[in-house]
Amino acid sequence: MSSVIVVGTQWGDEGKGKVVDLLSESADFIVRFQGGNNAGHTLVVGDKKFILHLVPSGILHRNKTCCIGNGVVLDPGVLLGEIEKLRSHQVQVDPNNLVISGQAHVIMTYHREVDNARELRKGKGKIGTTGRGIGPCYEDKASRAGIRIHELVNPKLFTEKLKVNLEEKNFYLEKFLGAKPLDYDQIADEYLAYGEQLRPYVGNVSQLLEKARRQDKNILFEGAQGTHLDIDHGTYPFVTSSNAVAGGACCGAGVGPTHIDTVLGICKAYTTRVGGGPFPTELEDAIGMHLQQEGAEFGSTTGRPRRCGWLDMVVLRNAARLNGLTSLTITKLDVLTGLEDIRIATSYVHEASAMETFPFECYTLEKCDPSYESFPGWSEDISSARDFSDLPVKTQRYLRAIEELAEVPLSIVSVGPGRNQTILLKNPFEI
């Protein structure tokens, strides 16, 4: 029996979906614990590609239970659409293999409207959110005005809460944001229908996981976003609205920290970021373009081009501390193929002084310049490597340098988007 948390170490899109799909083979339960459909997790199996926003990335495997924990904010229309799409590809998704926590919060139409109207109003200073209503939904959760899944599936409770909430939201939308007010009947009809469809999926995820643990099952927690988008520890205010760090798995699924065995950090061999906010190693030159093109760095949720830059060890070490990483995966190593010189930022320079650690606020980070260490690149195609020894010596050296600088042992190397394009050094469930 083992419990493994998978987290992104950078600013999201590290390849968490691919790794969770891969590790689901060894897991019995796969659990999303925070975020919502701002996430876009890509799974490539054979010639099929799936982009999942809410359904856990274990869904392609038979005889597994996928769970959506209490920490998730759930847009019911998006979830039902995703379920339909998976079914059209002959993937089983039903209450036998998908359980939704009754305590998860519902993303309402007004959350999306507020998110978008606010971004519009902010203009240049916008966060660059995904526009999915994530922030406004978590706001309602914190202010205790949120509607939870167990209320969505109870028409009486739902309509009562909707009435009260909509009055306030319409006032805010109209009078402050200058947007159109929303119609009660339309929202009520739409969401009551969602409630009917989702009722069979609702359960108690925390209790289910406790039972699984007592039966010696393997549990895989699937993080969304990344450490530096975490509401507390990320580059605030250019962050998402949930705790994307490993600790979030305990709160967001209802499990105690003593029941976690391994925390696996997923790190791209370079860095990307979507939306606004500081990014010290960003490259706005031919190399940045190379990474964007070769890595197909376009958002899986919004299609926006991702900003690209060198690997940042200050960022990775920060993630190692915040998550208590015990194991490391490097993804998209193949994207670096063909570059003569590969760089890793090992520290920053801030106002003429060296800085080894990640500042806890944005104003300092904006003024940090990276100090780089250079590594010789390789030109061989590595996408069919399946064993560490299949990699060119220069590639092996680059990986070992990352492992040493991060002080976290490497367990998985990904050399292509496909499930099988992977070098497994150590199965995180067997650590």
> Residue 14 or residue 334: which is nearer to ligand IMO going by CB?
14
Dist CA 43 CA 50 (whole Å)? 5
Positions 267 through 326 that interact with ligand GDP (CB under 6 A): 295-296, 300
Amino acid at 18: K
Taking alpha carbons only, the member of 126, 115, 149, 132 closest to residue 40 is 132
Piece in contact with ligand IMO (CB under 6 A), picked from 36-44, 94-102, 183-191, 325-333: 36-44
DSSP 244-296: -STHHHHHHHT--GGG--EEEEEEESSEEE-SSS--TTB--SHHHHHHHHHTT
> Residue 135 or residue 416: which is nearer to ligand IMO going by CB?
135
How many residues are present in the chain?
Answer: 431
Dist CA 78 CA 52 (whole Å)? 10
Place of tokens 């940090």: 368
Positions 235 through 254 that interact with ligand IMO (CB under 6 A): 240-241
Tokens representing residue 57 in the block = 């990335």
Dist CA 146 CA 72 (whole Å)? 12
Dist CA 325 CA 311 (whole Å)? 17
* Catalytic residue (one of 13, 115, 140, 312): 13
Alpha carbon distances (Å) from 247 to 10, 52, 64, 201, 212: 16, 23, 24, 26, 20
- Give yes or no for residue 417 binding ligand IMO (CB under 6 A): no
Chosen from ligand GDP, Mg ion, ligand IMO, none, partner binding at 129 (C-beta under 5 to 8 Å by type): ligand IMO
Among 102, 248, 417, 428, binds ligand GDP (CB under 6 A): 417
- Is 89 marked active-site? no
> Residue 9 or residue 170: which is nearer to ligand IMO going by CB?
9
- Is 290 marked active-site? no
Positions 185 through 224 that interact with ligand IMO (CB under 6 A): 224
Piece in contact with ligand GDP (CB under 6 A), picked from 191-199, 203-211, 231-239, 412-420: 412-420
What 3-state class would DSSP assign to 16?
A: helix
Among 5, 9, 17, 375, binds ligand GDP (CB under 6 A): 17
* Catalytic residue (one of 21, 41, 75, 140): 41
- Give yes or no for residue 228 binding ligand GDP (CB under 6 A): no
Chosen from ligand GDP, ligand IMO, Mg ion, none, partner binding at 414 (C-beta under 5 to 8 Å by type): ligand GDP
Are the C-beta atoms of 161 and 146 separated by less than 8 Å? no
Rounded to the nearest angstrom, the gap between the alpha carbon of residue 137 and the centroid of all alpha carbons in its chain is: 17
- Give yes or no for residue 309 binding ligand IMO (CB under 6 A): no
Dist CA 200 CA 388 (whole Å)? 45
Provide the binding-site residues for ligand GDP, judged by CB under 6 A: 8, 12-18, 40-42, 44, 295-296, 300, 331-332, 334-335, 414-417
Provide the binding-site residues for Mg ion, judged by CB under 5 A: 13, 40, 300
Provide the binding-site residues for ligand IMO, judged by CB under 6 A: 8, 12-13, 38-41, 127-130, 132, 134-135, 224-226, 229, 240-241, 274-275, 300
